[in-house]
A and B are shown apart, each in its own frame.
Chain A
Amino acid sequence: VTLAYPPPEHVLRDLGFEIDVRDDGTASAWMRATPELAAPWGGTTAGVLATLVDAVSGNLASLAASPDRVATADLALTLTRPPTGPEIEVTGSVLRRGRTTCVVEVLVGEGGWATATFAVLAHRDATPGPRVGAPGATTGRRQVFGGTGRPLAGWIGDAIGLTVVEAATGVLEVPLTAYVANSFGALQGGMVAFLAEQAGAAAVGAALGTPATTVGLQIAYLAQCRVGPFRTTAAVLDVRERTGAATVRVTDTGADGRLAAIAQVRALGIGP
């Protein structure tokens, strides 16, 4: 038995990703760059790009690991220019498929680079897991990732219920809803990355005294965000001139504050 994921009302559908997974171990994915996904420097926000990277690399890793399953262990994204539209293309390839991990490299538009590491989980007949996104049986064809959704009516942060509690310390919160849940019922990994990069950019921006945009994001996933609401805290390492870095902790307040992810964010100040 396989379960379809994502469900009809889901952020992955509304982001409008399209994906083409090829049999040669490579894949491409596309997304529309819309104002609802924009970062302060004009390009699409790093957290949404991380979600796209997670989607394309996850499909590649799933194919490479089949019949075993995979779960994102960490993700790194570096941008050197604002990825702008009307359409952003990413291209991924499997670097290594080992016994316990699978590593995927992803080129993001022009001047962007990402990697994702997946833990390989042994296949169990009793729990085959959900069918995620573009199924491997239809490789070699560009198709909508996860099914058609509705265009976002406003900023993605508002769509997922993100609230900024205190920008200077990077305290942000987001609840767990079916709209942002992954196939395990926890907060989807791309949304965890989005939450973390928003928190890091908020803290760096507050320290710089200007809006800041994330240009570097490294995140390690430590546990599923199962209960919520999920809260971030950020510690700024340093700011100088127009750049700064912060470390961000993502905790599950409904699970005794369990540390669910830890991220490193590099952000650039935007403005005069």
Chain B
Amino acid sequence: VSELGFVDRLIGLQREEVSDVLVGRVPIDDHTRSPVGGLRTGVLLAAVDAVGGMRCGLASLPRWIVSTNLMVTVGRTDHSGPLRFEGRLLRVGKAAGVASVDVLDEGAGDRHVAHGLLTTAVLDPEQGPPPLARPVALTPRPLERRPSDLASAFAIAEGTGPVTTLTMRDDLRNRWGILHGGVVAVLADVAAERAIGAGVATDTVLHYLRPTRVGPLEARAAVTGHRADGAVVAVSMHDVGSDDRQVALASVRVAL
């Protein structure tokens, strides 16, 4: 599975290197649109992860990175689109890199709609870094057929009670063979909204604790509490086929 795999194609993510900024663009399509008309937060998270991750990765060459922690604050969920993601390097060292990603709504006069912080771990991948021509300019092939909805496209289905399940598929793996971080983000979004039964996912903190290798991946949601601006849901994700080990943990605010 390449850098321009199924996930990039599904969300329509383009990326290009403009000076020291990694710029991404994501359209708002029917299958990526939230109930309030903007880009689904799970997709926004996936794009922040991809843009911030590539920015950190380019700064780490000839080594590369894996995402460890994603923190996103969403100001508005009613976007016009497309959204532009501007990834800037904040810090890179021998062990870790941090990127800031500003999310702007190009269809609304470049309104600043969200901000992301991505922390990454720097490593030496066995097969080396992704083969990228510089400056980076990546445009995914269009999908042959657009899916009817995001959850089914990502093999996400309702489980029992507060559990939402993702079935592993090879096209959901990244080039390292593990589940794509953006897919984990979408699962957190879907599971949190299911737990509340209404509203849209917004501010999210997502820790990638361990790689998801086998699946299925279970997202177990628990409502932390309610407040004036919505509810907060904790989502613990477990790789059932790997002795049920916890692979990710998220806190998601669902605006009501």
Task: Write the residues of chain A forming the contact surface with B, with a CB cutoff of 8 angstroms.
Answer: 73-74, 76, 78-81, 95-96, 98, 100-101, 103, 105, 110-113, 115, 117, 119, 215-216, 218, 220, 222-223, 235, 237-238, 241-243, 245, 247, 259, 262, 264-266, 268
CB <8 Å contact, A245 and B73:
yes
Partner of A242, one of B91, B209, B229: B229
B95 touches A100 (CB 8 A): yes
Q: Decide if A115 touches B73 in the complex (CB within 8 Å).
A: no
**Is B14 an interface residue when CB atoms closer than 8 A count as contact?**
no
Please report B residues at the A interface, Cβ cutoff 8 Å.
68-69, 71-76, 90-91, 95-96, 98, 100, 112-115, 117, 119, 121, 203, 205, 207, 209-210, 224-229, 231-232, 234, 246, 249, 251, 253
3 closest Cβ contacts across the A-B interface? A80-B225, A237-B75, A238-B75
Using A74-B71, A81-B225, A238-B76 as known contacts, say yes or no to A119 and B232 having CB atoms under 8 A apart: no
Contacts of A95 in B (CB 8 A): 207, 209, 246, 249
Query: By DSSP majority rule, is chain A's interface helix, strand, loop, or mixed?
Result: strand
A264 to B202, CA, bound (A): 13
Is the CB–CB distance between B73 and A264 below 8 Å?
Answer: yes
Give the A-B contact count at a CB cut-off of 8 A: 119
Q: How far is the CA of A235 from the CA of B103 in the complex (A)?
A: 13
Task: Indicate whether A218 sits within 8 Å of B91 (C-beta atoms), given known contacts A95-B246, A238-B75, A264-B73.
Answer: no
Which residue of B has the minimal Cβ distance to A239?
Answer: B75
A97–B55 alpha-carbon span in the complex (Å): 26
- Which A residue sits closest to B103, measured CB to CB? A237
Residue of B nearest to A238 (CB): B75
- Name the prevailing secondary structure of the B interface residues: strand
Interface contact B68-A268, CB-CB below 8 Å? no
Chain B residues contacting A81 (CB-CB under 8 Å) are 225, 227
The answer to whether residues A266 and B253 also contact, given A95-B209, A237-B75 and a CB cut-off of 8 A, is: yes
Check A216 against B203 for contact (C-beta < 8 Å).
Answer: yes
Minimum C-beta distance from B195 to chain A (A): 14
A contact residues around B209 at 8 Å (CB):
95-96, 103
A189 to B231, CA, bound (A): 28
Beyond A113-B234, A218-B73, A264-B72, list 10 extra A-B contacts (CB 8 Å): A74-B71, A80-B227, A101-B96, A111-B224, A113-B251, A220-B117, A222-B90, A237-B112, A238-B76, A268-B227
Please give the distance in Å from A35's CB to the nearest CB on chain B.
22
Please determine whether A76 and B205 come into contact, CB atoms closer than 8 angstroms.
yes
Given contacts A100-B121, A115-B205, A119-B96, whether A247 and B73 have CB atoms under 8 Å apart is: yes
Contact between B210 and A96, CB atoms less than 8 A apart:
yes
The docked-state distance in angstroms from the alpha carbon of A235 to that of B113 is 12
The contact of A113 among B203, B224, B231, by CB within 8 Å, is: B224
Residues of A within 8 A of B234 (CB): 113
Residue contact B91 to A223, C-beta cutoff 8 Å:
yes
23 A-B pairs with C-beta separation under 8 A:
A78-B205, A78-B224, A78-B253, A79-B227, A95-B207, A95-B249, A98-B121, A101-B96, A113-B232, A115-B249, A117-B207, A119-B95, A119-B96, A215-B229, A222-B98, A235-B112, A238-B76, A238-B113, A241-B229, A242-B228, A262-B117, A264-B203, A268-B228
Tell me if A76 and B251 are in contact (CB < 8 A).
Answer: yes
Q: A96 vs B210: C-alpha distance in the bound complex, in angstroms?
A: 8
B77 closest partner in A (C-beta): A238
Q: Which residue of B lies closest to A110 (CB)?
A: B225
In the complex, are the beta carbons of A245 and B69 less than 8 A apart? Answer: no
A218–B71 CB distance below 8 A: yes
CA distance A113 to B100 in the complex (A): 23
Closest to B115 in A: A247
Query: Which residues of A have CB within 8 Å of B229?
Result: 215, 241-243, 266, 268
